Amino acid sequence: MAVSTFKRGLRLNTRKHATEGKPVEMVPEPRQVVIPVHQHFGAPNQALVKVGDKVKRGQKIADAVTPGPMTVPVHASISGIVKKIEVRTQSNNTDGVCIIIEKEYPLGEDTAVGSAAGNAVLTDTDFLPPLDPFICTKEDALTRIREAGITGMGGAAFPAHVKFNPPPNKKIDTIIADGAECEPYLTTDEAVMMEKPAALIKGIAIVMKITGVIKAIIGMEDNKAALIPMLEEEIKKAACPGVIEIGLCKTLYPQGGEKMLIKALTGREVPSGGLPMDAGCIVSNVGTLVAIAEAFTLGKPLIDRDLTVSGGACKFPKNIRAPIGTLLTDLPPDFMDIDYPRLRKVLFGGPMMGQAVPAVAIPIQKNTSGIILMTEEETLQDMEGVCIRCGRCIRNCPCRLVPVIMNMNLEADDLDGAIKAGLMDCIECGSCTYMCPARIKLVQRFRVGKQRLRMRQQAAEARKQAAAKAVPHPVHTESVPSKN
């Protein structure tokens, strides 16, 4: 099988050996979960439950403040009682409202993890009824995906029902299932493809039916080539040979980026400022496609998450399946033992694009692909120096941007200059930061720059709305009758 790639890219030490090829282990039933009310890219959510309410696993507990397309509900991941609704730190390092559900114990029952009563938290469910995606209407299928709370699980948390309903003027001819998983340490997508190949193929077939697209490619790096025979077998069983193909790409960072994968598998370029649909493609993480299949066949909302827990300060690196809202600190030490004396950094996501967080006790969310517990040796960082104009950041940017110029503009507080230099085309892959000999925190500055732009746009929108409200009533031009 031919191996394709995009131009440029980094050969990183993948550091996947600790969890590569390992099965996914279900965590012991958690005693509590901390579920962020808002977990998607889009309009805000609010809690639908109150403290003291009894909830069942799968029950909707949060949804949009105001209805709209960019909204996705959130569901209880265990059965129990809502103990608190309060602000907690989330995996993106911001504070947000979370619903804390504790499992309920019968009187006198031991509250230790693993007690008999604990089993109920995962078996007492309130799922949706199964729905045949090949018979129902497109509208019903998209509604099912939304009602099941499905967002992109590769990191961006984009609402899946919006992704698979592109505007009519966009001609889509290829669905790409993204199993590249180019971030070091992470092996979640590999585990998903290994353990749920039939659900993956079904998920692809469902989104092909919804979108009317007749070709799909499962894209993966060549370090996962061992999975090909099994996937080909499932494609054959589903009678989809030639319709669903496997595309092998070089193991190169950031091969899993949407733009890079499209280039490698179809040869097409996503235009500057454009989206995959502008290149005729929809790219979806393999885990998201499995979740879509389960939303139809089992009626199961997105309430569990497969992820990799690894890093030098993790004593038992493994791929795990955890109810959304699980805290690693709540897992028993014989399942998840953390070497706290050696722990220096906690990352949600991989080391290139992940988010450093201040504590281990941060809840697992729908888009948490991994938690990396790093030691001093894994995080060694030199002091930031001054730019020596070496151009390495330019030569290694997969989007052909000029990071050094974008950074200079941001340092000079010239946001518009940075945008002109390509800030909004940056996919935040971190390759420039990784290659910079001066250890300049380029990607971190680009993230802050984009955040500033979003705030500027929100402020402009708020001003526009306030101005619209403040428009005086039309002047009454009819003559006022004289008192005389």
Report how far residue 429's alpha carbon sits from residue 426's, in angstroms, rounded to the nearest whole number: 8
How near is the Cβ of 442 to ligand SF4 at its closest, in Å? 6
Residues 145, 292 contacting (CB under 8 angstroms): yes
Which residue, 344 or 392, is less far from ligand SF4 as judged by CB? 392
| Radius of gyration of the CA atoms of the chain, in A | 24
Q: Counting beta carbons within 10 angstroms of the beta carbon of residue 405, is it exposed (0 to 12), middle (13 to 18) or buried (19 or more)?
A: middle
How near is the Cβ of 353 to ligand SF4 at its closest, in Å? 9
How near is the Cβ of 439 to ligand SF4 at its closest, in Å? 8
* DSSP sequence for 148-166: TT-B-TTTT--BHHHHTS-
How near is the Cβ of 451 to ligand SF4 at its closest, in Å? 15
Torsion of CA 62, 67, 70, 71, to 10 degrees: 10
Beta bridge partners of 97: 87
How near is the Cβ of 389 to ligand SF4 at its closest, in Å? 5
How near is the Cβ of 44 to ligand SF4 at its closest, in Å? 28
Task: Name every residue whose Cβ is closer than 8 Å to that of residue 481 and which is 6 or more positions away in sequence.
Answer: none
**Half-sphere exposure of 457 toward its Cβ, with a 13 Å CA cutoff?**
8
Interaction site with ligand SF4 (CB under 6 A): 387-393, 397, 399, 401, 403-404, 426-432, 435-438, 440, 442-443, 446
How near is the Cβ of 435 to ligand SF4 at its closest, in Å? 6
Where in 106-254 does DSSP place strands (E)? 174-178, 216-221, 244-249
Which residue, 117 or 438, is less far from ligand SF4 as judged by CB? 438
CA distance between the termini of the chain: 97
Which residue, 157 or 432, is less far from ligand SF4 as judged by CB? 432
How near is the Cβ of 96 to ligand SF4 at its closest, in Å? 26
Which residue, 386 or 480, is less far from ligand SF4 as judged by CB? 386
How near is the Cβ of 10 to ligand SF4 at its closest, in Å? 9
Which residue, 150 or 186, is less far from ligand SF4 as judged by CB? 186
Which residue, 241 or 271, is less far from ligand SF4 as judged by CB? 271
Residue 365 sits at the vertex; the CA angle it makes with 360 and 369, to the nearest 5 degrees, is 80
**Half-sphere exposure of 150 toward its Cβ, with a 13 Å CA cutoff?**
31
Which residue, 277 or 408, is less far from ligand SF4 as judged by CB? 408
Count the helix, strand and coil residues of the chain and give each as a percent rounded to the nearest 5: 30, 20, 50
Which residue, 271 or 437, is less far from ligand SF4 as judged by CB? 437
Report how far residue 336's alpha carbon sits from residue 330's, in angstroms, rounded to the nearest whole number: 9
Which residue, 9 or 133, is less far from ligand SF4 as judged by CB? 9
Beta bridge partners of 60: 75
